[in-house]
Amino acid sequence: MADWLSGTFRKVTGLSDPGPEFIQKTNAGLAALKRGQSGEAETHLKAALKEAEKFGEQDLRKAAAMNNLATAYREQSKHSEAESLFRQAFAINEKALGPEHPEVVAALNKFAEFYRGRGQPAKAEPLLRRVLAAQEKALGREHADVIVTVTALGEIYRETGKHDKALPLLQRALASQQKAMGQEHLSVATTLDKLALLYQVQGKYAEAEPLYLQALAIREKALGPADPYVGHGLEKLADVYREEGKYAEAEKLYLRAIKIWQDTLGSEHPDFAYSLEHFAGLKYAQGKYDEAENIYRKVLTILENAHGKYHPSRASTMDQYAIVLRTQKKDELAKRVEERAKEIRDKCAQMAANPEALVTANPDDKYLDQLPWNKKL
């Protein structure tokens, strides 16, 4: 950080000294962030911002301090505070450096990632379009960073239902990766999955299936048939088969995936539970409601043991479980399950605003970092 301040700032603004107090407090805050101590980092970075404010309202050191403090806020799920600082810092940088400066484009990209991490793709979309235009102008259409942005924008279009805009971007990303990395690179498999998912959500199973098969073959060759990434690929392809009504083919793949999770992570891991949940969906589609009910019960037990009682995935599983119960005319039990799912969601909403309460309520949860509001960008 000190080198960047004494280098970049001198070049851009002619500053002779970035300020020793500012440097000291900034470095202490960034070190705390690296250790995962975001509360301590906030204290140091607030002090750094106070020092930076002495340099002037439009000083780049103030923008840097704002970005750092925003990161600390983000790590603590203080999203509104983080968003405000990210926005102010970006405005200062853009005014000082210009809209196409690499530092400004990088900041814009981070801002887009912030919105994506919060599940707000519509806010991220215009930012990423600006990033892509600037990157293409500076780096060319085939640069690796450009393709990353192309892929991200394609996913945003899919998430917001703009499928006609998503398709050419994901196809472009795939073609560029295949040309640069070869047909069997793991990154190619990931993009194949993204393109297949786009077709799947549109009900175009004939287009999705061969792409999932190709991605699965790449992973099996590169990682071996029992790798967890192969398990994920098996589930994706099995989901398509289930949606197509190819139940026998789907069951074989689901059972393979379940065995992979059990052998690699154990039968108490959430990923094992999620694999069982996919399988329960198959049993429901087949009309085997008793089997589906029993599997959902097992999934809920595993998730409670892993995460505690108040986890959003448990509420989602309860929704599916309640559907099975309704189908079986077990309406009273279904109603209790639905009420329990609502209780969990309400509790999760409260905890999202105060993640420390979540830790207190679930001290044995080994998977808290997988919660939507705790995921790091």
Give the model's pLDDT for residue 4: 36
What is the SS3 assignment for the chain?
CHHHHHHHHHHHHCCCCCCHHHHHHHHHHHHHHHCCCHHHHHHHHHHHHHHHHHHCCCCHHHHHHHHHHHHHHHHCCCHHHHHHHHHHHHHHHHHHHCCCCHHHHHHHHHHHHHHHHCCCHHHHHHHHHHHHHHHHHHHCCCCHHHHHHHHHHHHHHHHCCCHHHHHHHHHHHHHHHHHHHCCCCHHHHHHHHHHHHHHHHCCCHHHHHHHHHHHHHHHHHHHCCCCHHHHHHHHHHHHHHHHHCCHHHHHHHHHHHHHHHHHHCCCCCHHHHHHHHHHHHHHHHCCCHHHHHHHHHHHHHHHHHHHCCCCHHHHHHHHHHHHHHHHCCCHHHHHHHHHHHHHHHHHHHHHHHCHHHHHHHCCCCCCHHHCHHHCCC
Total number of domains in the chain:
2
Name the packing angle between helices 60-75 and 38-52 (round to 10°). 160
Number of Cβ atoms within 10 Å of the Cβ of 254: 25
Q: Is residue 345 part of a domain?
A: yes
CATH of the domain at 286: 1.25.40.10
Give the model's pLDDT for residue 77: 81
pLDDT at 42 over 70: yes
pLDDT at 3 over 90: no
Q: Is residue 119 part of a domain?
A: no
Q: How confident is the model at residue 8 (pLDDT cuts 50, 70, 90)?
A: very low
Question: Which residue, 97, 127, 154, sits at the end of a domain?
Answer: 97
Residues 189-206 as b or e (16 or more Cβ within 10 Å = b): bbbbbbbbbbbbeeeebe
Give the model's pLDDT for residue 347: 84
Give the model's pLDDT for residue 79: 87
- pLDDT, tens digit (0-9, with 9 covering 90-100), for 273-323: 999 999 999 999 999 999 999 999 999 999 999 988 888 889 999 999 999
CA distances from 375 to 116, 119, 301, 308, 368 (A): 11, 11, 24, 18, 9
pLDDT top residue among 373 and 74? 74
If you average pLDDT over residues 159-168, what whole number do you get?
97
- For all residues of the chain together, what is the average pLDDT? 88
- pLDDT, tens digit (0-9, with 9 covering 90-100), for 43-102: 999 999 999 999 888 899 999 999 999 999 988 888 889 999 999 999 999 999 999 899
Question: Which residue, 97, 126, 151, sits at the end of a domain?
Answer: 97
Give the model's pLDDT for residue 355: 55
Q: Is residue 225 part of a domain?
A: no
If you average pLDDT over residues 317-343, what whole number do you get?
95
> Containing domain of residue 85, as a range?
1-97
pLDDT at 186 over 70: yes
Lowest mean pLDDT among 36-40, 116-120, 355-359: 355-359
Q: Is residue 75 part of a domain?
A: yes
Encoded amino acid at 292, one letter: A
Give the model's pLDDT for residue 359: 56
Q: Is residue 291 part of a domain?
A: yes
Q: Is residue 16 part of a domain?
A: yes
pLDDT at 16 over 50: no
Question: Which residue, 97, 122, 155, sits at the end of a domain?
Answer: 97
Number of Cβ atoms within 10 Å of the Cβ of 91: 13
Q: Is residue 114 part of a domain?
A: no
Give the model's pLDDT for residue 310: 84
- pLDDT, tens digit (0-9, with 9 covering 90-100), for 219-238: 999 999 999 999 999 999 99
pLDDT top residue among 259 and 350? 259
Q: Is residue 325 part of a domain?
A: yes
Euclidean distance between CA atoms 19 and 15, whole angstroms: 10
If you average pLDDT over residues 112-129, what whole number do you get?
92
- Percentage of the chain modeled with pLDDT above 70: 88
Give the model's pLDDT for residue 7: 41
